[in-house]
Structure 1
Amino acid sequence: MLSICLAGETVVLLPEKALWLPAHASLLVADVHLGKAASFRRQGVPVPRGSSRAALQGLSLLIERLGPERVVFLGDFLHAPAAHNPGTWQDLWHWRQRHPGLELVLVRGNHDHRAGDPAVELGMRCVDEPWPLGPWALSHHPQPQPQGYVLAGHWHPCVSLQARPRDRLRLPCFWLGAQVGVLPAYGPFTGMHPIAPAAGDRVYAVADDMVVDLAGGR
């Protein structure tokens, strides 16, 4: 993990591709895309099972380690209407029973509008962007907001590193600009989009169990 100062507060960038706001006891994750594999299988694409369960298991480990009062999903919690299937629902229900007192907030993203809100039995508060929390304007789309510094998802950002000729590695990253910060996609069954940082942007790559500052602390 890596602690930095952003918008006047300490934030912690986690190698699990999540962000911790200790002043608000809030854990932020973006682009979980639960049920994406099931959606693909319904279309006849032979993809492996278990990606949603793995995502929720990893989230449980983070919750048990950090002890947040709240988890905020920065959009695209469910991938598509096909995510409302018995298998994904069962995984979600068991996960919720593991954390019954935890506040859950979903800031709706574009996939959420298509998929529909999660079942009410999960006790998740579903809101439109931006959702204010201290100095933050929590969103899905990475667009500046007058309410505060935007923390968002949507882009699934990554950086490309080249150690030797023909030896290139793509890594998910946190991309923090002057007004907007973009989290890497949390879901294990998601693609990545290369970014083009502007001068002064801070970029932190996720490499295995580390978060690496690629801008030298700029």
Structure 2
Amino acid sequence: MPTSADLALSWGGGQLWLCPERAAYWPGERVLLVADFHLGKAHSFRRFGVPVPSGTSEANLTRLSALIDRLQAHEVVFLGDFLHSARARSAPGINAFAAWHQARPSLPLTLVRGNHDLRAGDPPAELGIRVVDEPFARGSWSLCHHPAVREGQAVVAGHLHPGALVTGTGFDRLCLPAFHCTGAVLVLPAFGEFTGLKAVAREAGDQCFVTDGVQVFRLP
């Protein structure tokens, strides 16, 4: 059963748990779905002299490990944009991920290629990641990077880094990572720490859920 932090969503002929760690879990198959990891993004920016924080790759891996352990996931599928750029191939995050994989050598890892992956190239073999093109059919769902409508299929995707504006009293406004469901397409928030947010335009009939890192909430 999901914890009080997770939100169970019946959708597309199956059930997903939307997790506050900015990922989704498929309990029927014990698969963790992670979108937009963007390994090496901060390193890529620092190479161009942009003063951004270090340690984001390690923070991502720590959060990923804790989530796998919490859910007892048996597999991880990355929904595109695992590497941020070709420069990320020489980033310290590559070595950190290789060490992380060595500690979990029997955990199956799959990457559905995204637009950044096409430019960066497939992950190095030592990371132990199987790479496939979208759409990647699993059960009743089509696992993708790009949130395109596919006739007769329910799509789980990433790419957009969705956020939703939450307003408080006065002029308080906050943009939180969001899970955005429109029709037969569910877009997950970006998992990476250093990825940014794009506020989604919600239309009638859409479902939107936000996370504050502790719990997932359904927006009215």
Normalising by structure 2, we get a TM-score of 0.95
Residues 85-94 or 9-18, more deviating = 85-94
Residue in 1 that maps onto 2:155:
150
Matching of residue 33 in structure 1 with residue 38 in structure 2? yes
Residue in 2 that maps onto 1:209:
214
Q: What are structure 2's unaligned runs of at least 5 residues? A: 1-5
Matching of residue 135 in structure 1 with residue 137 in structure 2? no
On the 8 A contact 1:139/1:151 being kept in 2, the answer is yes
Q: What are structure 1's unaligned runs of at least 5 residues? A: none
Deviations 1:173-196 (A, max 9, x none): 100111100000100001100111
On the 8 A contact 2:32/2:75 being kept in 1, the answer is yes
Residue in 2 that maps onto 1:121:
126
Q: Following superposition, which runs of at least 4 residues in structure 1 exceed 3 angstroms of deviation?
A: none
On the 8 A contact 1:157/1:182 being kept in 2, the answer is yes
Q: What is the aligned-residue identity percentage?
A: 48
Matching of residue 14 in structure 1 with residue 19 in structure 2? yes
Residue in 2 that maps onto 1:80:
85
SS in 2 for 1:164: coil
SS in 1 for 2:28: helix
- Counterpart of 1:24, as a letter, is E
Aligned length: 215
Residue in 2 that maps onto 1:61:
66
Residue in 1 that maps onto 2:185:
180
**Shift of residue 164, structure 1, vs aligned partner:** 2.2
Normalising by structure 1, we get a TM-score of 0.95
Q: Distance in 1 between matches of 2:43 and 2:110?
A: 24
Report the CA distance shift for 1:147/1:133 in structure 2 as closer, same or farther (over 3 A).
farther
- Counterpart of 2:206, as a letter, is D
